Every structure is written in structure tokens, then in C-alpha cells.
Amino acid sequence: MTAPVILAGLNHWFGPFHALKDIDLTIEAGEYVTLLGPSGCGKTTLLSVLGGFIDPSAGEVLIGGRDMTHVPPAKRPTTTMFQDYALFPHMSLRDNVGFGPRMAGMGRAARNARAEQLLGMVGLASEADKRPHELSGGQRQRVALARALAVEPDVLLLDEPLGALDLKLRRAMQDELKSIQRQVGTTFVHVTHDQEEAMAIADRIVVMNAGRIEDVGPPARVYRAPASLFAADFMGEMNHLPARITVEGVETPFGLIPQALPPTGRAVACLRPEAITLGEGQVRIGPARVRDAAFFGTHARAHLVPDATPDLTLVAHLPPGAMPAPGDSLDLSAAFDAFRIFPVKE
Amino acid sequence: MILRMLPWAYLLAAFVFIYLPVGTLVLFSFQEGSLPVPPFNGPSLRWYGDILGDDDLTGALLNSLLVAFGAASVSVVLGFLAAYGLARHVLPGSAVMRGLLIAPLTVSYLIVGLGLLIVITRAGLGLSLVTAAIGHVVINLPIAFAIIYASMGAQQQNAERAARDLGASEAQVIRLVTVPMLMPAIAAAFFLSVTLSWDEFIIAFLLTRFDVTLPVEIWSMLRSGLSPRLNAIGSLVFLVSVSVVLILELLVFRRRR
């Protein structure tokens, strides 16, 4: 089962603290959306509003076209997968997963069959009689997922579900979550502060900061063409260059970039580290001295000081084959469309 | 060498200090003669046969069990409800309420008993086992509340939230999640209440009349002088208390691991 979600004009205050500011968001049925942002940005508050654990101060929540703003969690077509999994320690895995169907009045045989089917889906069919404390972190996470899906929610809400897992397991679980979501077709809303996780898993990423939505879009778009400076910085490493928007284009320390923007004066030109290339290009950064470099497997990450701007240090991801040594001089450039320009409000 | 023996000697001395009186009591309950003093001339089960054939004593024993289990059940139910309410809901003046719930612990049993005696006689209610049980609820409720409240942590709260999210009503949340998760604390509170109520004397003495509990019966026997009968009763009381503690250990704390 699946349903679209519409959030309109949501605002929420915790006392004097404005936690959600004018949130408008539409999530399609069957979509995998991640809410991405630093801690305290309001992403978990937004999830709690969706799940019915927080009654928003203003605005409305529509799920499958019905107004759910003030409906308690038990009566919503949503289930939440909590950060600490919140499994019932005194029940077997079968009873944990069968809890939701039991509350819905399903008989013992039917709900055991349903629980075993879902445990099979997450690869724990043979562990149905175990208790949660006998499982590893990753297994508990799977049980929590099976338990949440057992009630066939229209929307599954995941609150930093992979936060407690080690990196390797987290990457494996991301793939699994995604494939299970494809299989069941339920709308997933997933909260995380890890931008790699968001990119790996989401159809669309919602970048949040200080209670506001900064950017919404598919991972590649949000990474390459972020809507705000905050989104640009949060999605990955970013070089900031001082710039100036004039009628002719954008003036940077490395020359003019032809972009038709309203001439608002001071601006920041952003350049991803991997967009800095060796040799000739549309924008010539020119010779730069290597301050230090480290080998990362897929690339060499170097700090470079261009001769043209001695007080600016650039971070570049260079091909890993030729490791630069500190003190080397490299000739650098970048393409016009690699730059993102954000006007600075004065 | 002496320094290494010293801690063991100290340990031995401490245990002798604690268990010598109990050991003596149990030993002389098997005395053949009619005075529980050395020399020991036994063993004999004469006095056990004597007390088990005494209807007053076995009646008092049953009364004690009834009062202990009744008072413990009521204390645990009330203590759990108070703890659940105070741990799960934001109430005005909850710190004061918690304080008031715990406060009876600091009042001497004599004062509690006297106060209840005045209230009950003024209200025209007769003294009975029920009034003694009420007195025991007064002293056991704060302990039950404190034990259960202390073990209500964030883990239960999250599980309760998950249960509600999966469609459970408040009653189902308490029955299927909260109580089972708190079972170790609830059982500990229950058995502690049982043992405290089981050998409580002052309140039972003040608040019973015709049907009395075992400690009150022992007290009235003591007035007619020492006898190995008392040792035998004491040994039985001790046996019951030890059994309760063992049950607690086996049922509750073993399972926790």
C-alpha cells in the first residue's frame, strides 16, 4: 500500500523556538524521500509531525488526500521505524513483527504466517523464535523494518535508521532498504544527516536547515546545482571563491564567467573539488603550488594555493594515478558550468 | 601470611555475628527437652509436631500469608499506577506528588499504626485482618512505587510509543508492553512487600483483634516464657522468608541475564 503526502504551510514552535518554518512539500506515492540536514535542523520534528507524535502549531498534513493533521499515530496510515528500533524485548521476533496485525485483530495463525513472511523478506526467517537481545544491531534493524511493514502502512517513516550501524553494514543496509522499498512500493520518508546515505538511497532529497527547506530534488541535481549555498555546502566539499555579479557576467579571481544573473554585486562562486582539472580549460586557474596531498583510492585530495590568489586555498580531487608532492606546481582549470554562483545578501 | 588470613577472619566474624542468633534459634528448635538452652539434647521434631497441631498457630500462619499477599498485591498495583502516571505524563507539581508518595517511608511504623488505629476506631470500623492489611499497604506502597518508578526508563517509553504507533490502545500498551517489560521490578516490589508484611509486628499488633497474624501470636506466646515451640515457629518463619527471597532470585534476577 502506498499514498502521496502533502505538507502545506507547516509551522511549529517549541516554546519560543521556531522549529519548522513554512514547510511546503509534496511527496509522491511510492517515492523514497530523505530529509537531510544537520542536527537541530528540524528534520526529526518534521518526521514526528508526519507520524502524528507532534501536533503542528499551524499548517496541515494530507496523507492519501485525507487530512491527518490532528489524527493520533495509531489511527494514521503511517508507521515509524525508531532510531533505537524500540523492539519489544520480552517477545520473540515473530511476536514483535506480528504485534501490529494483532492490534488490528488478526488471528494467531494468520499473523504468525504474516510475521514469518516478512521475517523471510528481511532474511531472518530462521530466527523467528529468538528474542531481540540475541540479535546483532543490523538484525534488530531488519526486525524493526519487518515490524513496521507488517501493518502495511501507506507511508513508512524512518528516523535515522542506520545511525547505530558501522559503515560497511550501513552501506549494505542502504541497498537493502532501497530494494525492499521497490518491492513493497510503500512511500518511504527517511531522516538522515549523512549526505552520502541520502544520495545512495533517495529518489529525492529534501535539504533542511534551521527549520526551513533549503532545496528539494533528485540527488544528482541537488549535488550539481544546489538551490542555496547551505545545500551546496552540506551535500559535499565545496570551494568558495569571492565573486562579483556584473552586467557582463560573474567576475572571479580567475576571470569572467558568462552567466546571465541580475547584477546584485557581491557573490560566492562555488566549485566542487572534483571539478578542478589539470591543464587547459574554459576558466584558467593557472599555476598553483601543492601544499599537501593525500591518497583516497578513487582520487588524490590536495590543498592547492594558486599563484594568482596567494591567500586562497583550494581543495581539489585529482586523478589518483599521479600523486602530487608538496611544493609541486600544477596548472589548473575548470569548466564554466562547474561554477555555482550565490549572491551574498548585504 | 597473617595479613592474607585477616580478611577471611573478618569475613568469618561478620557472618558469625549475623547468623549465630538464627543458627542458635534453628538448632534449639530441634531440642528434645522443654527449655531452649544448652546443653543440646536432640535432634527431635517434637516441637514442630506440637506447633503444627496447634490450631491457633496454624490459623495465625495462614492469616499472615493472607495479609502479606493481599497487602503486597494492592501495594504493587497502586505503586505501578502511580509510577506510570508520574513517569509518563507531565503533571503539575509532580515532584511534590513523588515526595508525598515516598514520605511514609520516613514515618515510624508505630506512628503509622497509631494513626490508623485512631482513624479506624473513630470511623467505627472494626479491627480485623483487613485493617492490618491496610496498614501494611501504607508502609509498602512507597517501596513498591520507588522500585517500579526507578526502573521506568526511556527504553520502555520508546517501546510504548512504537506499540501505540502500531495501533495499540492505552490499555493494550500497558498490558502487552509496559507491564511485561517492567516485570522484574514489579516482581521485586511484590516479594519485598510480602517479606516486609510477613514479619511486621507493631502495625499488625495495633490493628488486629480476634484473628491475628503470626508475629502477634508469637508475641502473646512469648509472655508465657521461653519454649522450643517458639524456636520451631521462628524457624518456620525464617524458612518462608528465605523461600521468598530464593523465588525472587530464581524467577526474576536469573532471567534478566
For A148-197, what is each residue's pLDDT tens digit?
988 888 899 998 888 777 888 888 888 888 888 888 889 999 999 888 88
Distance in angstroms (rounded) separating the CA atoms of residues A256 and B229:
109
Which is it for strands A32-36 and A187-192: parallel, antiparallel or unpaired? parallel
For residue B33, give the DSSP letter.
S
Q: Is A283 exposed, middle or buried (0-12, 13-18, 19+ CB in 10 A)?
A: buried
Question: What ipTM describes this predicted complex?
Answer: 0.77
Verify whether the Cβ–Cβ distance A84 to B165 is below 8 Å. Answer: no
Query: What is the interface size between A and B, counted as CB pairs within 8 Å?
Result: 58
Query: Which DSSP state fits A132?
Result: G
pLDDT of residue A208: 92
From chain B, pick out residues whose CB is under 8 angstroms from the CB of A82: 158, 161-162
Domain count, chain A: 2
**Contacting residues of A for B155, CB less than 8 Å apart:** 84, 89
For residues A318 and A171, membership in a common domain is answered with no
CATH number at residue A217: 3.40.50.300
Question: Which residue type occupies B252?
Answer: V
- In this prediction, residue B257 carries a pLDDT of 45
Cell of residue A71, nine digits? 489524527
Are A92 and A199 in the same domain? Answer: yes
Task: Delimit the domains of chain B by residue range.
Answer: 24-53+225-257, 62-223
Are A301 and A179 within one domain? no
Residue in chain A lying closest to B173 (CA): A103
CB A269 within 8 A of CB A243: yes
Q: Is the pLDDT of residue B3 over 50?
A: yes
Model confidence over B109-158: pLDDT tens digits? 888 888 888 888 888 787 778 888 888 898 899 999 999 998 887 888 88
Q: Looking at A233, A265, A282, which one is the last position of a domain?
A: A233
B159 and A87: CB-CB below 8 Å?
A: yes
Contact B166 A99 (CB under 8 A): yes
Query: Rounded distance, CA B154 to CA B161, Å?
Result: 10
From B155, B168, B180, residue closest to A103, measured CB to CB: B168
Read off the C-alpha cell for A36.
537531510
Q: Do B167 and A104 touch (CB under 8 A)?
A: yes
Chain A residues closer than 8 Å to B179 by CB: none
Please indicate whether residue A232 or residue B3 has the higher confidence score (pLDDT).
A232
A53/B166 Cβ within 8 A? no
**Nearest CB partner across the interface for B166, out of A53, A79, A84:** A79
- The fold adopted by the segment(s) B62-223 is MetI-like fold (1.10.3720)
Distance (Å, rounded) from C-alpha A294 to C-alpha A127? Answer: 45
B114-136 core/surface letters (b: 16 or more CB in 10 A; e: else): eebbeebeeeeeebebbbbbbbb
Average pLDDT, chain A: 87
Q: A51 vs B165: CB contact, 8 Å cut-off? A: yes
The whole-angstrom separation of Cα A7 and Cα A227 is 20
Three-class SS state of A317: strand
Torsion-angle region of residue B181: left (phi > 0), alpha (psi -120 to 50) or beta? Answer: alpha
Q: Are B185 and B151 in contact (CB under 8 A)?
A: yes
A77 & A108 share domain: yes
What residues make up the domain containing A279? 238-343
Local confidence band at B231 (pLDDT 50, 70, 90 cut-offs): confident
Q: Of A233, A258, A274, which residue is a domain's last?
A: A233
Indicate if A243 and A175 belong to the same structural domain: no
The predicted pLDDT at position B14 comes to 93
Which pLDDT value is given to residue B81? 92
Please indicate, yes or no, whether residues A217 and A242 belong to a single structural domain of this protein. Answer: no
CB contact under 8 Å between B161 and A53, yes or no, is: yes
Q: Is the pLDDT of residue B253 over 80?
A: no
Cα distance from A154 to chain B (closest Cα, Å)?
13
Alpha-carbon gap, residue A95 to A118, rounded angstroms: 12
User: Locate cell 527471597: which residue?
Assistant: B245
pLDDT digits (tens, 9 = 90+) for B64-111: 888 889 999 999 999 999 999 888 888 888 888 888 888 888 888 888
Which one of A79, A103, A158 makes the best mutation probe of the B interface by having the most chain B beta carbons within 10 Å? A103
Per residue in B99-111, pLDDT (tens digit) is: 888 888 888 888 8
Residues A245 and A229 in one domain: no
Q: Is B113 exposed, middle or buried (0-12, 13-18, 19+ CB in 10 A)?
A: buried
Point out the domain boundary residue: A198, A233, A268.
A233
* pLDDT above 90 as % of chain A: 12
Tell whether A284 and A338 lie within a shared domain.
yes
Percent of chain B with pLDDT over 90: 13
Q: How far is A93 from chain B (nearest CA, A)?
A: 14
Question: Quick check: A100 and B158 CB within 8 A?
Answer: no
- List all residues 6 or more positions away from A126 whose beta carbon is below 8 Å from its beta carbon: none
Are A85 and A187 found together in one domain? yes
Write out pLDDT tens, residues A77-86: 899 888 888 8
Tell me the residues of B at the A interface, defined by beta carbons under 8 Å apart. 155, 158-159, 161-169, 172, 176-177, 180-181, 183
Q: What is the CATH number for A256?
A: 2.40.50.140
